[in-house]
Structure 1
Amino acid sequence: MIESRGNSMVSRAWAILALALSLLLLPGQSAEAQIRVASYNVAQLRGEPDALEAVLDELSLDDRTGPAHPVSIFVFQEVTQSTFDALSEMLGEEYSAGTYTNSGEDNYGGAQAMFYRADTLIEIASGHDGTYTGAGRRARRWQMRLLGYNDPVVDFYVYSGHLKAGTTSGSSEERVFGMTNILNNMGEIPPGSHIILCGDFNFYNSNEDGYQLMVGHESIDIVDPQGNSNWTTGSSAIRHTQSPRTISAGGLASGGLDDRFDFHVSTANMADGQGLAMIDGTNRSVGNDGLHYNDAINDGNNTYYPSDVPRSNTLADNLHDASDHLPVSADYMIPAVMSASMFNADIGTIISGASFEFSVNVANLCAPAYPAGGSSMSWYLDGTGGMANVVGSGNLDPDSSQWVQVLVTPGIEGDIDGDLIVRSDDDFVQAEPAVIPVTGTVLRHADASFSEESDINWNVVSDTFAADSGIQTIEVPLWNFGWDSQQASLDLDGVSGLDAPFVFAGGLVEGLTDGQATLSFTLDTDGMAPGLVVDALQILASDQDLPGAEDQVLNLSLTITIDEAPPSGCVGDIDGSGQTDVEDLLAVLDGFATLYDVDDLLEVIGDWGCTNP
């Protein structure tokens, strides 16, 4: 089993080292700020060019919901062949034009155009496509890739469309037709793709079928960041985009701000707060302070920038003169960048069942210009080989790291050739997974045995000694059964429960591998009566001194038979003279058949010449 443990287990010295390494890991390696995407119906550039150029500049300077940042992607509606170049010139050389196609749409208000900052993004031209949406217009799709993010690549799609205007049922049905085709086109790209959908959709309220189709599709989950509630009353004035004017001039529509025709929505995977996702609260109708319902945006003071009314008024004047729509802008956070490291990924040698503790540093190297501009990163530990089933998880804000102490009990024996893996299921996390090879050796336990051929942990040692035969030695052989280089050596530590008259004479060893150890016991037979002497004892053994070492106990029974002592002196000395001689032979012959027999005769002959000490 493997589990993460609290920081309290880290020593002060270890913590200092951990801090030093974490500081080395933190420099950012990704984009430095959020991505800003702005959508704008520029009304075929019928407005004042200077005002439009000022609005385009202000879209990058806008710091109402967060730090100012250059717009990364502009998508425009109503761009004609003749105004495309003028729009490109207004944006300047920092912006590259995305694929522009115009299928005779100049007679229907103009086509869709996209411009992007080439220092931040690149267009994947093969991903460009268009689909007919009615009213003589086509929606366009661009595939974009975030630079500096290659593991994995960060691709997403941007759509721009302009649906049929009008309040008639026919106009509403044509908007349904157009949105249906846009959604069908989304179904042609890989499932799970990240999609931003922008445009002038001319939805009059949230109950309109086209809007409900957009936010309620069965397979393409579109999220409206401003909510799905209706927007037709003054209480929703902050959401309105058309018209910032109450006068008609130069072909620009009047009517005041009372409609939400312009939308900037995304798929749910760009609205979940992680990976490449819209930053909460940044989707806005630029210049709309919510106080100009059904009025011109520059009527009286404008408080779009609450602490800078003059700046707000200047923006409002330019919006009024530039177009009859407001731009809709949103900022997107950049994905997390994973890094992981350990001080020492070699655990050395341990014994099966041992646990070892290591510290792993997990970092989110995403370093945005401000905290909300980068994605947090949820992470968890995984592993292979001896690191399987590792447990640990956390969540990291951008430009942060954390140390986690992990206690590991490898589930294998032998050489460890596994990996500690830090994973994240968040979108577009760079350098994920982070893989740290872990090495080491896990030995099997030593196996004390009374046999070299099989594992025997209980034994009876029997022998027979004559009484008064002096000190006798009993030898008990032991082995480390099954030893090879992947098994711990065996230490013989002692004996327990040995009782007199037995005495332990030695033989304890350390580091027994493929050889034999012999324990010796002694028994003093002098003065012992004939009979059986039995003792049960334990032999205490253990693994070599490594993490995971365990004790072992072998049971041994000593069973010794004591026979009668042989007669002392000259056994053939019949007459007690102290020696066996002719007098003893004559005595046997004289009493033969009455007192003595053949055995006595043979005993005298066998003992002939004996002299008692």
Structure 2
Amino acid sequence: MQKIGVVLAMFFYLTSNAQEQATVMSYNVLNFPTGNIEGREDTLRQLINYIEPDLFLMQELKNDSGLQLILNESFSELPANYAASTFLTQQSNPSSNFRLQQAIIYNGDMFGLAQESFVQTQTRDINRFKMYYRGPDLNTGADTVFMYVYVAHLKSSQGTSNQEERLSNAQSFTTNLGFLPQDANVILAGDFNVYESNEPAYQELLDSTNFIRMRDPINSPGDWSSSSFQPKNILTQSTRSSSIFGDGAGGGLDDRFDFILLSDNMMRPWNTVVFEPESYYAMGNTGTCYNQSITDCSGGEWSDEILQGLYYMSDHLPVVMTLNLGVGSVGIANQQEETTALLWVNESLSLDWSKEEAVQITVTDLLGRVWLQAQHTVIRGANTIVLPKVANMKGLMLIRVSSASQQHTLKVVR
């Protein structure tokens, strides 16, 4: 009887809090807007009208014109007030001739954008957005619920070198998690280009020893590219059996490249932001069109019109899921800020800085002896600085990084 009372108390506590559902949609929009099919913003509008996403997380944007076109045209028929993040030209790998970027469009009636930054990688940026929930109690002094939304596009293609580069991309993300409160609500979405769950990049993203543990909500490990893998309805690429108009990949639906991962706390029913069970799916894929075009899928709720829209819009399928907001009392409810701007990782100093400027780095020991004084210019976002002069330093190391606008100190025991 006592156990029943506890369960009922928990039920009434959770259901007494104001709850709202948010639809999250992650989509590789294929070189938008410079692909070889005109009018794709109209095709995308059809898909957006069907899903009505509150968070739309994009990969393969080419320019700000494409972002504004999607915001103003593809979202034009939805009743909510939508807004977009700032388009930032790719900062990582600046010599690349194939530069792509990520961005988000969000329901401004439900969410606000508190901060934008990026994580620099070997391949391309991982964009980070600090969102807050505009809950019904926000203006009454209630604690603010924050989410950190990362949107990524990892290195493509098979082969050892590409796997290693994807792993490096993933490590840049997991390192950046160390700059957040450990109970942060975190979303990582995008085109990961991994072929199986044993691939090092995927294992790195889900490593239980990371500062914040991430989860795959559908937990379907295996060799996703194998013909024997089940269930096939989670596969996301390619929507086309052969490339059309010389743009995008062919081969039919036989890979799971597109993901939405969540921090472990978002899988817990008492958290402030909670994954809705059974809500995760690859749009349009009923599992009946393996190695075929998405237009060959049959069954399910998807009309021929929607399947054709998916076919012409991109060679990837969108991944969609639902979040319950304002559920419990655990998470970022106390509005913690990032706990540090500095980390010591792999014998290097990792900085997450708010703007491009000159910084002074000073390293001292417990006795106050100065081991290093140096000046560096850092960029806005993630930076990695190697400090070779402290390689032989033992014991407590104090690293102070200061600029005209801020100062941070990190204690490291070696």
TM range (shorter): 0.5 to 0.7
Call closer, same or farther: CA 1:49–1:267 in 2, change over 3 Å. Answer: farther
What whole-Å deviation, never above 9, does each CA across 1:14-50 have from its counterpart, x for those lacking one? xxxxxxxx9xxxx98846x311111100011226455
Aligned to 1:227: 219
How many Å separate the matches in 1 of 2:169 and 2:332? 31
Show the 5 A alignment for 1:17-28. Answer: none
3-state SS of 1:108 partner: coil
2:226 partner letter: T
1:169 partner letter: T
Please, which of 281, 286, 298 is the counterpart of residue 284 of structure 1? 281
3-state SS of 2:73 partner: helix
Aligned to 1:471: none
How many Å separate the matches in 1 of 2:225 and 2:106? 33
Please, which of 29, 32, 40 is the counterpart of residue 42 of structure 1? 29
How many Å separate the matches in 2 of 1:241 and 1:145? 29
Query: Conserved in 2, the CA contact under 8 Å of 1:273 and 1:279?
Result: no
How many Å separate the matches in 2 of 1:44 and 1:60? 21
Call closer, same or farther: CA 1:171–1:145 in 2, change over 3 Å. Answer: same
How many Å separate the matches in 1 of 2:121 and 2:231? 28
2:240 partner letter: R
Please, which of 122, 128, 132 is the counterpart of residue 134 of structure 1? 122
Aligned to 1:155: 146
3-state SS of 1:298 partner: helix
After TM superposition, give the deviation of residue 169 of structure 1 in Å: 0.5
What whole-Å deviation, never above 9, does each CA across 1:506-562 have from its counterpart, x for those lacking one? xxxxxxxxxxxxxxxxxxxxxxxxxxxxxxxxxxxxxxxxxxxxxxxxxxxxxxxxx
2:184 partner letter: S
After TM superposition, give the deviation of residue 132 of structure 1 in Å: 2.1
3-state SS of 2:307 partner: helix
2:171 partner letter: T
1:221 partner letter: R
How many Å separate the matches in 2 of 1:335 and 1:60? 25
1:58 partner letter: L
May I ask how many residue pairs the two structures share in their alignment?
A: 308
What whole-Å deviation, never above 9, does each CA across 1:59-79 have from its counterpart, x for those lacking one? 4534xxxxxxx3111110011
Higher relative contact order (CA 8 A, sep 6+): 2
How many Å separate the matches in 2 of 1:233 and 1:56? 33
How many Å separate the matches in 2 of 1:298 and 1:109? 30
Call closer, same or farther: CA 1:40–1:49 in 2, change over 3 Å. Answer: farther
Aligned to 1:72: 54
Aligned to 1:113: 103
After TM superposition, give the deviation of residue 131 of structure 1 in Å: 1.4
What whole-Å deviation, never above 9, does each CA across 1:188-212 have from its counterpart, x for those lacking one? 1222111000011100111100011
Aligned to 2:114: 124
Q: What are the ranges of 5 or more consecutive residues in structure 1 without an aligned counterpart?
A: 8-21, 63-69, 306-310, 337-376, 378-424, 431-613
3-state SS of 1:85 partner: helix
2:243 partner letter: S
3-state SS of 1:175 partner: helix
Aligned to 1:318: 309
Identical residues among aligned pairs (%): 28
Call closer, same or farther: CA 1:43–1:227 in 2, change over 3 Å. Answer: same
1:98 and 2:85 correspond: yes
Query: Conserved in 2, the CA contact under 8 Å of 1:134 and 1:174?
Result: yes
What whole-Å deviation, never above 9, does each CA across 1:156-213 have from its counterpart, x for those lacking one? 1100011111111000000000000011112112221110000111001111000111
Aligned to 2:72: 89
Aligned to 2:156: 165
After TM superposition, give the deviation of residue 107 of structure 1 in Å: 3.4
Call closer, same or farther: CA 1:249–1:187 in 2, change over 3 Å. Answer: same
Query: Conserved in 2, the CA contact under 8 Å of 1:303 and 1:313?
Result: no
Please, which of 211, 236, 253 is the counterpart of residue 231 of structure 2? 236
Q: What are the ranges of 5 or more consecutive residues in structure 2 without an aligned counterpart?
A: 6-11, 335-414
3-state SS of 2:87 partner: coil
Call closer, same or farther: CA 1:129–1:48 in 2, change over 3 Å. Answer: same
Query: Conserved in 2, the CA contact under 8 Å of 1:38 and 1:59?
Result: no
- The TM-score normalised by the length of structure 2 is 0.68
1:61 and 2:50 correspond: yes
1:268 and 2:264 correspond: yes
2:279 partner letter: T
Query: Conserved in 1, the CA contact under 8 Å of 2:151 and 2:189?
Result: yes
After TM superposition, give the deviation of residue 427 of structure 1 in Å: 4.3
How many Å separate the matches in 2 of 1:84 and 1:429? 31
Please, which of 115, 128, 132 is the counterpart of residue 145 of structure 1? 132
After TM superposition, give the deviation of residue 248 of structure 1 in Å: 1.1
Q: CA RMSD in A?
A: 3.0
